[in-house]
Amino acid sequence: MTAIPAIKAAISALKIEQRVERDVKSGIPEIDRDSHTESEESLRSYVVREIVGKVHSDRQAQLDEQVAARNEVGLRQLYLDICNAEQHVRKTIASRFAILAQELKRNARELAAVRTDLEIFRHKNGLTREADFRESRIFHYAVIFFIVIFETALNSFFLSKGSELGLAGGFLQALIISLVNLGLAAFAAFALRNSFHRNPLRKLLSVTAFAGIAAFATAFVFGVGHYREALEMNPQLASKLAVLNLWGDPAGIHDFNAWIMVIVSAIALVLLTLKFFAVDDRYPGYTAITRRVRELQGRWADGCEAAIEEFNQLAEAEQRVLADKEKAIRAQFIGFKSSIERSEEIHSHYEEDIVKAQGLLDELILYYQSHAARMMNRRAAYFGKLLRFELDKLPRLNTTGLEQHKRDLAAFEQVLQELDGVYATAVEEIGARCEAVQRELAELVGSIERDHGLSGL
């Protein structure tokens, strides 16, 4: 920032001594005089232009910076936002309420349609009981995976002897056997479940299919035992011998390890079949439609709960926004008031700079006159009056914005006095509006449930 220079720096910058030498050689100034020389007059012009002018520019830039900062204050708009908060929330809630109402009605129609399908299914199939099934299938698949791996691990030791790859080859063969058992168990469970169907033809076909699958599974299990026994006699012809022995004497297995494989495979097959059968209701198709109904019931309940909670969150969010705006108003007011005080301080400093500049000019004139007297080797009888600044010609600071902002400050002070009451009223109105819309939502849910026959869910 430009400041009033020291007397020595000003003397050097103005080259006063050179001015004096030039004037003395020209016979200026006279010994006795009552007027100022041209050089003395030029000192005043130089101080006004080069010193006061630069100080004025710097001070004006500081004032303009403060004015620009105050112009960015949005205190009035924030105050209006708080005053109109209830109207804004009302519009937001109305819009969101309409959307939620449509979503709830759509979910209710979908649930009512599926419930109707379930009742039709029950009536058509003569079902008067609730479906019996496992809600979670994760444990079901975990048990199946464990059975398959356990059977594979046991059988791999018994089949590794005849494999060229040893234990790895035995494990691969055992895995194939386990996967075949898994497929047979799935088909057996499907046929067993359909054997409970109300349709006589479908029931007959399912019982026949189940008997055929059971017969094939029994043959496969004994075939595994014969294959294990044939590995002991001739690994290269084990498959052919196993088929011949199975065809000639299915139960004619004489090797203990082979019987272990038969028992392990049979147990695994039975457990897998029971697991596939028990995971769903015994009546075919009953589990799928019941799961759909329960899924939509859960979605309906969650949707109603989420809708109510959404308005709680909306109220909290709007109240947080109001709190932030209230804090912003107070912070901006403090900054606005501080900026005005800073502008007044800058203006006061400029007035002080004018006084300092006049003192500097006085010293410069005295130095010019005393140096001239020394060079003339005599004491001047009269130096003349010291030059004074013509105040009406000095640059003035533009304080138009400052005066306007002082008037604004008075209005802002009134806003601050009313802010607590307005803020408390807005928060209370938002809470009351959200509670009212929650009651409306509860009534809407009840109406939708009555219209779609969902009461009591």
pLDDT tens figures, 371-414: 887 777 655 544 567 888 887 788 888 888 888 888 888 888 88
Quote the pTM value: 0.63
Burial of 262 (0-12, 13-18, 19+ CB in 10 A): buried
Asked if the model's pLDDT at residue 104 lies above 80, the reply is yes
pLDDT tens figures, 251-294: 667 677 778 778 888 888 888 888 888 888 888 888 888 889 88
Residue type, 21: E
Check residue 382 and give its pLDDT.
47
> Out of 236-240, 307-311, 410-414, 434-438, which region has the weakest mean confidence (pLDDT)?
236-240
Q: Degrees (nearest 5) of the Cα angle 59, 63, 65?
A: 115
pLDDT tens figures, 332-372: 999 999 999 999 999 899 999 999 989 888 888 888 888 88
- Give, rounded to a whole angstrom, the gap between the first and last alpha carbons of the chain: 78
Residue 33 banded pLDDT, cuts 50, 70, 90: low
Check residue 369 and give its pLDDT.
82
Are 261 and 225 in contact by the 8 Å Cβ rule? The answer is yes
% of the chain beyond a pLDDT of 90: 8
